[in-house]
């Protein structure tokens, strides 16, 4: 007697349909994929074989999915139409695209996919693909829409439409896991059908992927991990990452300044040029320890002793000067909005004045703007 296990797939990650179909053949598991479409997508997977623990056999292929054990939903078999889709699907077939198109039309539908391995043939499966529709007043229009979608997505022209008691009989048999007018497909062809659509109603699980080091560790050694108790865990920092944002946090007396001094001394050995804005004259004592010339490779400023300024309106002379000019103008106006309450009239005046200033020079100042 065959055992049966049914799960509902609530969220899906990287589900490999080709590997799943291959495992079905290897373990002699029969599977029914049910995709219920109303205002969103509901996906159920029923697996059957003579083994004891079906779910354990397939758990490696469901590891990226959030699932819960349940039963197949009860389907009202009255006033339904069944469409049996037969044929070899196109290689570019996407079940997700097909489900998305049905959702866009607002039609309700039930997709049933049955897959069973053929005895003694490890690379072929018996497949039944059926689409169940409610026989309402708009059924003719719905049939035309679904038929068009089948042709465009699957590239298949062979369909059989069943109505009345025949449709009811077919649906009942399919829900029991029995094939009706099946076709024989290869593993690759069957995988085109047997996909989990990540459409509305099915959350997408995206796992973080961390790059593996392709070579020996490199970068500036900045210390050891204090809480690492098995051997020495060295911490390094790639100097090229300093062109991105970086912050050093810590309570008073925990060594922020000491850390930065040692780091800057090591950084200078990489021929990296840098500027230190030193409000409290804490970094001048490392100038003689750094590689490079002070005043050329290494700049240390105390704004209280040596006043200096940065012109946020200055632009370089390049081929893209006009693009950079308008970016600088809009960025400057955006900064004004954050500092002051200004309206559209004021913004327009600032924009016009800056445009006029840039027609004369690449280095207008805020003082020029005020004048």
Q: Is residue 282 located within the same domain as residue 326?
A: no
pLDDT per residue as tens digits for the range 22-34: 877 777 888 889 9
Q: Is residue 74 located within the same domain as residue 146?
A: yes
In a domain? residue 209? no
Q: Which domain holds residue 95?
A: 3-204
- Among the residue ranges 83-97, 127-141, 163-177, 223-237, the one predicted with the least confidence is 223-237
Q: Is residue 134 located within the same domain as residue 162?
A: yes
Q: Is residue 150 located within the same domain as residue 174?
A: yes
**Within 13 Å and on the Cβ side, how many CA atoms surround 299?**
9
Q: Which residues contact 164 (CB under 8 A, 6 or more apart)?
A: none
Q: Using alpha carbons only, give the angle 97, 117, 62 rounded to the nearest 5 degrees.
A: 55
Question: What does 90-114 look like in DSSP terms, one character per residue?
Answer: PTT--HHHHHHHHHHHT--EEEEEE
The predicted pLDDT at position 28 comes to 80
pLDDT per residue as tens digits for the range 331-369: 898 888 888 888 888 899 999 999 999 999 999 998 888
Does residue 233 register a pLDDT over 60?
yes
pLDDT band at 128 (very low <50, low <70, confident <90, very high): very high
The predicted pLDDT at position 1 comes to 61
Mean pLDDT of the chain: 82
Q: Is residue 118 located within the same domain as residue 189?
A: yes
- Mean pLDDT within 175-200: 85
Does residue 210 register a pLDDT over 70?
no
Provide the residue count of the chain.
371
In a domain? residue 308? no
In a domain? residue 338? yes
First to last CA, the chain: 92
Q: Is residue 44 located within the same domain as residue 174?
A: yes
pLDDT band at 251 (very low <50, low <70, confident <90, very high): confident
Collapse the DSSP code of 350 into the 3-class scheme (helix H, G, I; strand E, B; otherwise coil) and give the result. helix
In a domain? residue 213? no
**% of the chain with per-residue pLDDT over 70:** 87
- Mean pLDDT within 264-278: 86
Structural domain total, the chain: 3
Does residue 212 register a pLDDT over 60?
no
In a domain? residue 215? no
- Among the residue ranges 61-65, 166-170, 347-351, the one predicted with the least confidence is 61-65
Does residue 215 register a pLDDT over 50?
no
The predicted pLDDT at position 181 comes to 87
The predicted pLDDT at position 216 comes to 47
In a domain? residue 19? yes
Q: Is residue 33 located within the same domain as residue 131?
A: yes
Q: Is residue 125 located within the same domain as residue 264?
A: no
Q: Is residue 112 located within the same domain as residue 15?
A: yes
* CATH code for the domain in which residue 39 is found: 3.40.462
Q: Where are the alpha helices (DSSP H) in the chain?
A: 17-27, 54-58, 95-105, 139-154, 164-175, 187-193, 256-268, 321-339, 344-358, 366-370
The predicted pLDDT at position 157 comes to 65
Structure tokens belonging to residue 280: 């409290």
Q: Which of 169, 204, 239 is the last residue of a domain?
A: 204
Q: Is residue 225 located within the same domain as residue 192?
A: no
Single pTM value for the model: 0.55
Does residue 56 register a pLDDT over 70?
no
Does residue 290 register a pLDDT over 80?
yes
Does residue 87 register a pLDDT over 50?
yes
Does residue 231 register a pLDDT over 80?
no
pLDDT band at 207 (very low <50, low <70, confident <90, very high): low
The predicted pLDDT at position 70 comes to 85
- Mean pLDDT within 162-186: 90
In a domain? residue 350? yes
In a domain? residue 67? yes
Q: Is residue 14 located within the same domain as residue 96?
A: yes
Does residue 298 register a pLDDT over 50?
yes
Q: Is residue 234 located within the same domain as residue 347?
A: no
């Amino acid at each position: 007697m065959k055992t049966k296990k049914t799960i509902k797939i609530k969220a899906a990650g990287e589900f490999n349909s080709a590997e799943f179909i291959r495992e079905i053949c290897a373990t002699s598991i029969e599977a029914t994929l049910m995709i219920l479409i109303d205002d969103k997508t509901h996906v159920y997977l029923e697996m059957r074989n003579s083994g004891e623990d079906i779910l354990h056999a397939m758990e490696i292929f469901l590891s990226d999915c959030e699932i819960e054990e349940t039963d197949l939903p009860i389907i009202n078999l009255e006033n339904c139409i069944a469409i049996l889709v037969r044929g070899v699907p196109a290689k570019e077939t996407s079940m997700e695209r097909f489900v998305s198109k049905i959702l866009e039309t607002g039609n309700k539908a039930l997709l049933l996919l049955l897959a069973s391995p053929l005895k003694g043939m490890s690379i072929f499966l018996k497949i039944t693909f059926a689409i169940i529709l409610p026989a309402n007043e708009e059924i003719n229009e719905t049939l035309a829409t679904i038929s068009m979608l089948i042709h465009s997505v699957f590239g298949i022209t062979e369909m059989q439409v069943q109505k009345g008691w025949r449709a009811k009989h077919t649906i009942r048999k399919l829900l029991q896991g029995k094939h009706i007018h099946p076709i024989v497909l290869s593993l690759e062809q069957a995988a085109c059908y047997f996909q989990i659509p990540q459409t509305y109603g099915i959350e997408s699980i995206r796992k973080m992927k961390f790059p593996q080091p392709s070579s020996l560790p490199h970068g500036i050694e900045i210390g050891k991990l204090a809480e690492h108790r098995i051997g020495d865990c060295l911490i390094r920092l790639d100097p090229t990452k300093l062109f991105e944002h970086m912050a050093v946090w810590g309570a008073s007396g925990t060594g922020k300044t000491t850390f930065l001094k040692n780091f800057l001394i090591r950084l200078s050995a990489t021929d990296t040029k840098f500027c230190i804005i030193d409000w409290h004259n804490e970094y001048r004592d490392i100038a003689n320890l750094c590689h490079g010339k002070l005043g050329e490779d290494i700049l240390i400023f105390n704004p209280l002793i040596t006043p200096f300024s940065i012109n946020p309106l200055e632009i370089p002379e390049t081929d893209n000067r006009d693009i950079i000019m308008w970016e600088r103008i809009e960025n400057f106006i955006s900064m004004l909005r954050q500092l002051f309450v200004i309206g559209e009239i004021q913004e327009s005046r600032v924009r016009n004045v800056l445009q006029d200033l840039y027609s004369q020079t690449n280095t207008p100042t805020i003082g020029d703007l005020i004048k």
